[in-house]
Every structure is written in structure tokens, then in C-alpha cells.
Amino acid sequence: MDEELDPEAEEYKVVFEDYKPPSRDAIYLPNYITYLVIAAAIVITVLYAIIGHLIKDLIHDLTGLQCGSALFRHEIGYVLGQMQHEASVPQLSAALARQEENAMVRHECAEALGSIGKESCLQALRTFLGDEERVVQESCEVALDMHEYENSDQFQYADGILKLQGAQS
């Protein structure tokens, strides 16, 4: 144990004498990082597919808009507008078209269609601009404005005062 260590001894020589580090431009990730990124991408893709499927099922279940009280149907219309999923357009349009439906339910369906902002919403909204119910007429006007906003590059929806101030300057 009292032997001195000889740094020149064969057992201490560098194994990879001809090793040169990679250039600073080359970035090499360890394999486990690459596999981790691939696994995360797969998980995100699967979750997106599952959630998309669940949203479509939820829309299908709720969009009958014929169940429960008028308040409940109104809330369903509101939620579908917040989800902004095009799969709910036929049912929202049908509820808007039902003349015997509560006016507030029809109002909410109109606003939901405007919020969705797809071309498939325009026909129903334009059709009911002349509805007998004033609240439905006005809701369709607002919804058409919302539709225009959803398809524009505007930052803020209700910026009428800013536009007026800009016109006066």
C-alpha cells in the first residue's frame, strides 16, 4: 500500500487518445431525451383525439336542446357557444328555427352560432334577422357581428368607442 502511484504507468494511459470533441454547432441529444420527446408527442396526440371524441359525444348528447327547462336549454346553448365546435351548428340552428321555443333559448342559440363563426352558421342567422321576436332579431344582428369578428384579425370585439375616437382625430 505504500507504493507510489506512477502516472506514467501503462494502466493510467488515456484510452481514447485520438478523441476530438464535436463542433459547437453540433448538438447531440441523448437517446433517452429523444424517446421522451417522442413519448410526450404520442401522449399529447392520443389525449387530443380522446378529448376531441369526448367533446363530439358531449355535443351530441346536449344538442338536442329539447330536454329540461328553458333555463337549462338556454345554458346548453351558452356552453355550446363557448365550446365553438362546428358539430353543434345543426342543432343550434334547429333550436333557433323552432318558433315555439322560448325566446331566450333562441337568443342564446343565435349568439352561440355567431361565436362559432363558421360559414355554416350564416344562413340560419340571416334567416332569422326578420323574426317576430325582437330579442331573436337583435340577437341575430349581434351574432352576425360576432361572426364577422371571429373571422377577422381584430384584437378586441367591442371596440366601437375606439373606432369613434379614431374617426374624430
The per-residue pLDDT for range 105-144, each reduced to its tens digit, is 999 999 999 999 899 999 999 999 999 999 999 999 999 9
Residue ranges per structural domain of the chain: 63-152
Cβ atoms of residues 86 and 116 within 8 Å: yes
Does this model's pTM top 0.75? no
At residue 3, the pLDDT reads 63
Q: Residues near 84 by Cβ (< 8 Å), separated by ≥ 6?
A: 115, 116, 117
CATH number of the domain at 63-152, out of 1.25.10.10, 1.10.287.3510, 1.10.340.70, 3.40.50.620?
A: 1.25.10.10
State the average pLDDT over residues 77-97. 90
The DSSP string of 71-110 is: HHHHHHHHHHHHHT-GGGHHHHHHHHH-TTS-HHHHHHHH
Positive or negative, the CA dihedral 152, 156, 159, 162 is: negative
